[in-house]
């Protein structure tokens, strides 16, 4: 059985790609959004751990990457995955991910999962970041959201809202009042796609182009 995490959580740090952030206008938006989400998650999980709970999610556990049939992703997150996979991944991990993306048919296994580890962990979607399980590691094929909802972390809605609001300039929504209205109207949620239903073969093709251009 996998161990649980009983110690204090490390404080999150903002991902930084200085050179790329100067060139890619939307990249700082995504990194700021993920940093806000990570801070909200850190604070929320820390409160639960102080109550005596233990965090069951540890490195090497990939149950939710296999059992979940839907992983919602926002347009900015899709752009981030494209960029990260094409530009930043190398070596054997790149080979394995490209092969899986080429063969992706919408199965229940995440195409970015490599040897039971997230192959895009820094750029993993917000849905993956917020999903955390307490106390007991998941059993084989178990989705704890349905088997023991009480052990699944419930995100702080204000923290989640702040993280999502940072994505809105990607959709040319800049002013604070307009961003508030967009959140009230669930504009981003209307754009959500299921990660499993996206045609990821296009990334695999662009990886080939990138490889050819850099030989």
169-191 per-position pLDDT tens digit: 999 999 999 999 999 999 999 99
* Residue that the structure tokens 């009480």 belong to: 150
Q: Is the pLDDT of residue 146 over 80?
A: yes
What Å distances lie between residue 42 and 3, 127, 185, 198, 199, CA to CA? 19, 15, 27, 30, 32
E-assigned strand segments in 85-188: 113-114, 117-118
What is the sign, positive or negative, of the torsion defined by CA atoms of 100, 105, 109, 111? positive
191-205 per-position pLDDT tens digit: 999 999 999 999 999
pTM: 0.93
Q: What is the pLDDT of residue 1?
A: 42
* Secondary structure (3-state) at 24: coil
75-90 per-position pLDDT tens digit: 999 999 999 999 999 9
Q: Which two tokens stand for residue 44?
A: 């929320």
Q: What is the pLDDT of residue 17?
A: 97
High-pLDDT (> 90) share of the chain, %? 82
Q: What is the mean pLDDT of residues 146-150?
A: 95
Phi-psi region of 52 (alpha: psi -120 to 50; beta: other; left: phi over 0): left
> Whole-number mean pLDDT of the chain?
92
**Helices in the chain by DSSP H: which ranges?**
18-23, 27-50, 63-67, 75-83, 91-102, 126-130, 144-147, 157-165, 176-184, 201-213
Residue 214: which pLDDT band, with cuts at 50, 70 and 90? confident
Distance separating alpha carbons of residues 196 and 104, to the nearest angstrom: 8
Containing 207, the helix (H) or strand (E) segment is helix 201-213
Q: Is the pLDDT of residue 130 over 90?
A: yes
More confident site: 212 or 200: 200
Distance separating alpha carbons of residues 132 and 22, to the nearest angstrom: 33
DSSP state of 170: G
Distance separating alpha carbons of residues 170 and 210, to the nearest angstrom: 25
More confident site: 140 or 42: 42
* Residue that the structure tokens 């790329």 belong to: 20
Q: What is the pLDDT of residue 14?
A: 98
């Amino acid at each position: 059985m996998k161990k649980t995490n009983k110690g204090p959580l490390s404080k999150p740090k903002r991902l930084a790609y200085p050179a790329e952030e100067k060139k890619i206008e939307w990249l700082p938006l995504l990194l700021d959004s993920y940093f806000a989400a990570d801070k909200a998650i850190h604070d929320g999980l820390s409160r639960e751990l102080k109550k005596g709970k233990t965090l069951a999610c540890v490195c090497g556990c990939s149950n939710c990457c296999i059992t979940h049939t839907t992983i919602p992703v926002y347009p900015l997150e899709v752009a981030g995955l494209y960029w990260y996979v094409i530009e930043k991944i190398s070596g054997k991990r790149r080979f394995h991910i490209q092969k899986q993306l080429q063969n992706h048919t919408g199965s229940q296994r995440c195409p970015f999962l490599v040897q039971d580890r997230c192959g895009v962990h820094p750029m993993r979607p917000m849905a993956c970041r917020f999903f955390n399980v307490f106390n007991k590691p998941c059993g084989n094929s178990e989705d704890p959201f349905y088997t023991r909802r009480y052990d699944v972390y419930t995100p702080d809605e204000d923290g989640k809202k702040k993280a999502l609001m940072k994505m809105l300039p990607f959709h040319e929504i800049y002013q604070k009042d307009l961003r508030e209205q967009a959140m009230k109207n669930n504009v981003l949620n209307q754009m959500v796609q299921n990660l499993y239903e996206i045609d990821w073969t296009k990334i695999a093709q662009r990886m080939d182009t990138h490889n050819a251009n850099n030989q």
